[in-house]
Structure 1
Amino acid sequence: MASLFSSTLFSLFLLSSLFLSNANAEPERGFTVDLIHRDSPRSPFYNPAEVPSQRLRNALRRSMNRAVRFTNSFGPSPNTPQADITSSKGEYLMNVSIGSPPFPIMAIADTGSDLIWMQCKPCEDCYSQKAPIFDPKSSSTYKKVSCTARQCQAVDQTSCSSGRGGLNNGTCQYSIVYGDQSHSNGDVAVDTLTLGSTDGRPVALPNTVIGCGHDNAGTFDDKGSGLIGLGGGSVSLITQLGNSIGGKFSYCLVPLSSKSDLTSKMNFGSKAIVSGTGTVSTPLVKKDPDTFYYMTLEAITVGGKRLDFPGSKEEGNMIIDSGTTLTLLPPDFHSKLETAVAAVVKGKRVSDPGNFLTLCYQMSSDLKVPTITINFKGADVKLDPSNYFIQVADDVVCFAFGETDDFAIYGNLSQMNFLIGYDTVSKKMSFKPADCTKM
């Protein structure tokens, strides 16, 4: 049994400085950017009027909405195309510059999507945005992509119709529809995208495939300018970084309280290698859609009791997503896991004041919880109590695993204080226990 200590980690944001370089990114170059907690005082979404329990409830709602979006992406209606991206209620923000000269944008950064897009002039129907809107005419390196170009073929949900003003200019156009019917429509183009880094060395990506959105509406926040896809597809930022990062990126999620403005880190290339004492690795499984990062969950061990995961023989039965708060499991297995945890917890059981989580206890120094280990194929990841019990009120903590009707999702609460490495070339995920406040 382990003594419980709580930590309030919800959604996270990716924030990088703005720099510009005329040179291409160097092969196997390593660089690092900051990850900013969505509810940190450094985040543009920070609301000082909210208490920690309110922030948690909001994060849990976003987490479940995100799970629904993932489910939709596996079975889109033939009449309503779906895309693997989130709205501005997603979990990350990223500052980059687009074009020449550089134009700063702040966009949702999403590990569960691919296309990089932002709102563009002329805005036929754009959602309200506080920051200036990108004007492609102001960039000397901006070029529209033709319908026959390979870049057009790499983007999902594209068409070739009459250009604006009724002229058939052969421009490749994309159309993305969210599960909640939010949407983005516009031109597929290429331009220079520049990332900043904490070591002060800029990373410029000429001819980056982007979407220039002229018709965008729905549940977008006015603090964001669009979306940066970090998934595994061919037009994601990760894939377009290409040889410059050797297919590697990693992050270490800092457990933040409402009073903390510590940042997490996202590393690329040579700085993203996860190794050393305590490191365990599991295969990354290639499946459709290739946007997601799939692993194989074999079991979850509660104390000394191993609970075999149904469908454990199926390779790639779980997605890892740093933008989902809870770890989500099929209902029957979640019920079995929750029962096993409740059987060994030493404490007074109470209700969740927010009526969201189902296994909650009164917080006290006497509360004892079992050790939980996630048994991935070839990698046993031993969690800390703060990874699976969260404080939802001043005196209440709850078990931070939820239900999903489809596939399992490994959420960010289970990931905090681990250095987590993605190696898309060697096809493996690595986990190493770490104090992320010191990374």
Structure 2
Amino acid sequence: MASSSMRRKLAPSCDATRFAYILLLFFCRLQCCSTAGGAPQPPRSGFVLPLLHRTSLPPPYTRRYTSPLSKLDFFAEAKSLDQARILSIAASLSRSSKDVLVSSSSTSFNALYASNASNGYSSRVRSGASAGAGQYFVQFAIGSPPQKFMLIADTGSDLVWVRCSICKRRCRDGGAVRAGPPLPPTFLARASSTYRPVPCLSQSCLLVPAPPSFSCNLRIPSTCRYDYTYADASESSGVFSMETISLNPASTSYPPASQNFTAINSQEVKDFAFGCGLRNAGQSFVGSDGVLGMGRGMISFVQQVGSIVGNKFSYCLVDFFSTPSLNSLLIVGDPPMPIKLLSTVQSTPLIQNSFAPSFYYVNVLDVAVNGKILPVPSSVWELDAVGNGGTVLDTGTTLTTFVEPAYQMILNAISEEFPYPKVDPLQTFDLCFNATGLISLSSLPTLSITFEQGAVFSPPASNIFIDIPGGLKCLSLQGVQGPFAFTVLGNLIQQNFHMEFDLDSSMLRFASTQCSGSFR
């Protein structure tokens, strides 16, 4: 470690055994030192936390995150955000020093990025972190005494970071020096008795990417610096640190459905690793105070907290249009009602992509419309030797994206099976119908996705077709193609499913349910 070339962003040539040892030490520290008071936890316990959609944020975040005026406006904005996020994920998956090119079959998609690439869009690869479009938010309490912030819940990145100030008297905010504390909301490290920066030469410092051309000072002790640059040029940089965080349940009105479940009323997690974000700028963070990384990496929120209550987390997303007064739920640990008690529970392995270890992958075997399996080549669903392709579960995108030619096959099959007249597609969608007079959703075509081990994901029609004023129904899917294209199952198609990610067994369990009432 006594070398000026020491960087905390690990190079590909870094010794794998040494890095594995570092991760083991970090994991052991979490297991031994993270619970307050060191008391052993009950066999089944967990936290149920509100997961707020960006359309239902409380003040002052509602003023900082403008909601669209109509449903059509909302989905037009959502599609734009999805495309930016998919671009970012494609960039991180490619691990290339060249520009990444992904193109879509959608006319509006191509037009949006026409200035960047012919028939598609491109972006420079900047980091493995994904662009936070800010679809779902979690309230996060950090410090002693706790300071509360609203963070983007991001299943595509690992680092947890909060806008932060470590100054004592004169503070720097946005590059300008001003007297007194920085503008809120900002974590004030000086106001917490438990804040501790990670030393630059610490082994834990190897877990975060370092700023360009930065190395540790071998003579004078210095702090661990990190730098995340997102694909849309958004950036967070600051000090990698340790703190105490406070976890609280969503509400005492959610009684456990199992006598073996222990709802933890309040819990402190000591020595929680996070980024104290000193400089944060860009569209990725609009309306938030930071990012809650929920990926598969060792420094993610779910890995650090999951080691206390069992390495699993789950969520249940409500329909944010039909039930705007109810929040979705994020469950860390065991849920109040074990998912195995739901009659429709199915499971499939979570697949690890060594080129993009933060993301949650599943293996798709086939797709079917109205029970008819489409002749999609198996290679369309596969991860290749350098980590491209595959299928990602992502709450940060709204619409589901299928790789070509699967998307066009799905589009054609649904068009043939739809019992209502087709209309000219709106700019946001590729396929719309005049469904005036529709009595039951059961008459609409069904879409099912078969995963490895035979699990079948069959979303209801309300997750596939969007109601548009004027009696229209539009298909809430989009397509992409290109050398780095991949399939993304977005949050809309996951609504009213309990999605459980068991990290110990590397399994995804899911079951159809009513998320507005499952744990209430």
Give the alignment's TM-score, normalised by structure 1: 0.86
Other-structure match for 2:16 = none
Question: In structure 1, what is the Cα distance between the partners aligned to 2:145 and 2:234?
Answer: 31
User: What are the equivalent positions in structure 2 for 1:17-416 lying under 5 Å apart?
Assistant: 22-23=36-37, 27=41, 28-40=44-56, 42=58, 44-45=61-62, 47=66, 50-76=69-95, 78=97, 81-87=126-132, 89-121=133-165, 122=167, 124=172, 126=174, 131-157=184-210, 160-161=214-215, 168-199=220-251, 201-220=265-284, 223-257=287-321, 260-271=324-335, 273-276=338-341, 277-288=343-354, 289-310=356-377, 311=379, 314=382, 317-353=390-426, 355-366=427-438, 368-378=443-453, 379-405=455-481, 406-416=485-495
Question: In structure 2, what is the Cα distance between the partners aligned to 1:245 and 1:308?
Answer: 43
Other-structure match for 1:16 = none
- What is the one-letter code of the residue matched to 1:97? A
Aligned to 2:45, what secondary structure does the other structure show? Answer: coil
Deviates more, 1:414-423 or 1:365-374: 365-374
Counterpart contact for 2:85–2:130, Cα < 8 Å: no
- Largest Rg, 1 or 2: 2
Structure 1 residues 80 and 327, CA, compared in 2 at 3 Å: closer, same or farther?
Answer: closer
- What is the one-letter code of the residue matched to 1:230? M
Residues 67-120 of structure 1, C-alpha deviations (whole Å, 9 max, x = no match): 111101123554963132334x32121211111121112121211111011111
Aligned to 1:412, what secondary structure does the other structure show? Answer: coil
Aligned to 2:492, what secondary structure does the other structure show? Answer: helix
Greater relative CO, 1 or 2 (CA 8 Å, sep 6+)? 1
Offset at residue 385 of structure 1 (A)? 0.6
Aligned to 1:339, what secondary structure does the other structure show? Answer: helix
Structure 1 residues 195 and 352, CA, compared in 2 at 3 Å: closer, same or farther?
Answer: farther
Aligned to 2:83, what secondary structure does the other structure show? Answer: helix
Counterpart contact for 2:398–2:491, Cα < 8 Å: yes
Q: When you count helix as a share of all residues, which structure comes out higher?
A: 2
Counterpart contact for 2:499–2:508, Cα < 8 Å: yes
Offset at residue 293 of structure 1 (A)? 0.5
Structure 1 residues 126 and 403, CA, compared in 2 at 3 Å: closer, same or farther?
Answer: farther
Question: In structure 1, what is the Cα distance between the partners aligned to 2:400 and 2:158?
Answer: 22
The alignment of Structure 1 onto Structure 2 pairs a total of residues equal to: 414
Aligned to 2:382, what secondary structure does the other structure show? Answer: coil
Residues 289-327 of structure 1, C-alpha deviations (whole Å, 9 max, x = no match): 211011001111101310244326736821111221111
- What is the one-letter code of the residue matched to 2:238? G
Residues 168-212 of structure 1, C-alpha deviations (whole Å, 9 max, x = no match): 533211111111111111111111122221255123211111111
RMSD: 2.7
Offset at residue 351 of structure 1 (A)? 2.6
Other-structure match for 1:7 = none
Question: In structure 1, what is the Cα distance between the partners aligned to 2:136 and 2:334?
Answer: 23
Other-structure match for 2:120 = none
- What is the one-letter code of the residue matched to 2:224? C
Aligned to 1:436, what secondary structure does the other structure show? Answer: coil
Question: In structure 2, what is the Cα distance between the partners aligned to 1:190 and 1:394?
Answer: 54
Counterpart contact for 2:200–2:216, Cα < 8 Å: no
Deviates more, 1:123-132 or 1:264-273: 123-132
Residue ranges of structure 2 left out of the alignment (5+ in a row): 1-34, 98-123, 177-181, 253-264, 384-388
Question: In structure 2, what is the Cα distance between the partners aligned to 1:375 and 1:312?
Answer: 14
Aligned to 1:413, what secondary structure does the other structure show? Answer: coil
Question: In structure 1, what is the Cα distance between the partners aligned to 2:360 and 2:344?
Answer: 22
Structure 1 residues 259 and 388, CA, compared in 2 at 3 Å: closer, same or farther?
Answer: closer
Question: In structure 2, what is the Cα distance between the partners aligned to 1:149 and 1:162?
Answer: 10
Residue ranges of structure 1 left out of the alignment (5+ in a row): 1-20
Offset at residue 256 of structure 1 (A)? 2.6
Aligned to 1:30, what secondary structure does the other structure show? Answer: strand
Aligned to 2:55, what secondary structure does the other structure show? Answer: coil
Structure 1 residues 120 and 40, CA, compared in 2 at 3 Å: closer, same or farther?
Answer: closer
Counterpart contact for 1:248–1:422, Cα < 8 Å: yes
Q: Percent identity?
A: 30
Counterpart contact for 2:315–2:330, Cα < 8 Å: yes
Counterpart contact for 2:164–2:278, Cα < 8 Å: yes
Offset at residue 245 of structure 1 (A)? 2.6
